Amino acid sequence: MVHCCRDSGISVPPVLNSGKIDEKYFFDMKYVHGDNVPHFLNSEPINEINSFINKILSFIKKNIDVSTNSVVNQVLLDKIKEIKDKLKDPRVSLIIDSLSDHLRTNEVVLPIGPCHGDLTFSNIIISRSSAGKVLNFIDFLDSFLDTPLQDVVKIRQDTSFKWTLGLYSGALNNHRMNYVFSFLDDKVDKFFRQYDFYNVHYKVYQIINLLRVMPYSNKEKLDYLINNVNIINKF
């Protein structure tokens, strides 16, 4: 994973120390001085923004290249059943029942291989080096399924659904941000159209991704997520 990052112009802060204090695990990580992504997108020229997204696309492509294909229907069915039982919200149950019918009748083959696991813009810090901007990936997450498609849906959770912008409190130029986000989303979507697994399964996997965020959301966020799922729910 770290090897893949380095090849793509991406860095991961090294762990300096780790251990256990009072039965609790800890680790110390090198502090990265840099910009958050909303601020970067609000202030940098388009060639820097283009190079930023190209590095992310290249990272995910390298992970797809070393992945192997596997049928994942049962894993997905188990995961969404767990969410249905946890949330007990009739609107969510309706979505999950229809998605389960789809998963029982359509084979889903995905590339299984390395991924960041939670590749939203909130987990990228942009620093400067003599060679230019460096993307620092933090907050890697063990996902229920290790697939590079997980990183694609997380990036589009930002470029298409503007997730990280909703968490950002700084002042932004809304007109510019709308333009930049539609540029980024279009670029990500066009890039992954070279892959059948993306063309066939993106929508289903994005719905599962948004469903997975729901148990951690307050009422306002839950309504927002359900609304978004219903917009893309045309599989």
Ligand X SMILES: Nc1ncnc2c1ncn2[C@@H]1O[C@H](COP(=O)(O)OP(=O)(O)OP(=O)(O)O)[C@@H](O)[C@H]1O
Which residues form the interface with ligand X (CB under 6 A)?
13, 29, 31-32, 122-123, 125, 138-139
- Whichever of 122 and 233 has its CB closer to ligand X, that residue is 122
H helices present in the chain, as ranges: 2-7, 37-43, 46-65, 73-87, 90-105, 148-159, 163-167, 174-192, 196-213, 219-232
- Whichever of 13 and 75 has its CB closer to ligand X, that residue is 13
Which of Mg ion, ligand X, none binds 223 (CB below 5-8 Å, type-dependent)? none
Please, what is the minimum distance in Å from the beta carbon of residue 89 to Mg ion?
25
Which of Mg ion, ligand X, none binds 8 (CB below 5-8 Å, type-dependent)? none
Please, what is the minimum distance in Å from the beta carbon of residue 139 to Mg ion?
4
Please, what is the minimum distance in Å from the beta carbon of residue 88 to ligand X?
25
* Nearest C-alpha neighbor of 177 from the set 43, 50, 47: 43
Which of Mg ion, ligand X, none binds 32 (CB below 5-8 Å, type-dependent)? ligand X
Sheet with 35-36, side-by-side order of all strands: 10-11, 132-137, 124-129, 35-36
Using the rule CB under 5 A, is 196 a contact of Mg ion? no
- Whichever of 88 and 216 has its CB closer to ligand X, that residue is 216
Compute the distance between CA of residue 208 and CA of residue 204 in angstroms, rounded to an integer.
Answer: 6
How buried is residue 14: exposed, middle or buried, by Cβ count under 10 Å (0-12/13-18/19+)?
exposed
Compute the distance between CA of residue 59 and CA of residue 57 in angstroms, rounded to an integer.
Answer: 5
Please, what is the minimum distance in Å from the beta carbon of residue 38 to Mg ion?
14
- Whichever of 28 and 139 has its CB closer to Mg ion, that residue is 139
User: Looking only at residues 110 through 149 of this chain, which bind Mg ion when binding is defined by CB under 5 A?
Assistant: 123, 139
Amino acid at 209: N
